[in-house]
Amino acid sequence: MKTISFCNQKGGVAKTTSALNVASGLQNKGYKVLLVDIDPQSSLTYSLGILADDLPATIYDLLKGEKTAGELIQDINGLHIIPSSLELAGAELTIAGQPGREYLLKDGLKDVVKYDFVIIDTPPSLGLLTLNALTASDCIYVPVQSDFLSIKGLKLLTDTVGMIKKRINPGLHIAGVIVTRYDSRKRLNRDAVELLQRTFGDVLFKTIIRENVTLGEAPAAGQSVFDYDSRSNGAEDYGNLVKEIIERG
């Protein structure tokens, strides 16, 4: 089983979109995938058509030790998810004083063994919830919008990963950087990709996710882009990304 966090402290970089569609694409290839939503905004939960505010229990209950992962997993058309809710926003204060607070998610997922991939969608911050996700992960995928402001913020993330690797999770590493919301007509986007290629080399996925309206419409319908419109550019791009992930092993 491989646990991957989709992480970027900057919002609007298609982090949740990437987590959902990579998971769906892997499922379509026959892999067993568990999604974990540890973002209080619950975007991943809503993107699968789950009304987060109506849930009797969420990942917050897992972090508090009041529910097991098995009790929280929901099956949405074969794709499994541990959902989140806005209630999680208070978790950082609630769990901050607990011993081993950075291991709460890892401990909560320790009995989850039947999956090939566990994919965690993290908040757009580097707080305690993200720390829990990175402690529980084997590696990180970083979606980054193809502009220089997005790239500039990656240094803080890489510094944080280095700190966690040194103190908590020695195996943690950035295994992939994903260019998102790309428009080849914009020189700014082209220049940003060149900079990412120079900075990250082979860590940068060759597949580029183009700007595509379908990627915004699909979550509103509670579907992955493959289910919503399998012939769209978004489905083609995420399909190619999934192939590249599988090829990398």
66 secondary structure, DSSP code = S
Residue 179 pLDDT > 80: yes
Q: By C-alpha distance, which of 139, 132, 138, 56 is closest to 100?
A: 132
Decide: pTM greater than 0.85.
yes
Structural domains present in the chain: 2-248 (3.40.50.300)
Percentages helix, strand, coil for the chain (3-state, rounded to 5) are: 50, 20, 35
> β-pairing, 204-210 with 74-76?
unpaired
Name the maximum alpha-carbon separation found in the chain: 51
pLDDT of residue 11: 87
Q: Please report, as a single letter, which amino acid is at residue 180.
A: T
How far apart are alpha carbons 98 and 52 in whole angstroms? 26
E-only strand ranges, 26-148: 33-37, 74-76, 79-82, 117-121, 139-145
pLDDT tens-digit map of 151-176: 877 888 999 999 999 999 999 999 99
Q: Please report, as a single letter, which amino acid is at residue 91.
A: A
Sign of torsion over alpha carbons 122, 126, 129, 132: positive
Q: Please report, as a single letter, which amino acid is at residue 89.
A: A
12 secondary structure, DSSP code = S
Residue 71 pLDDT > 90: yes
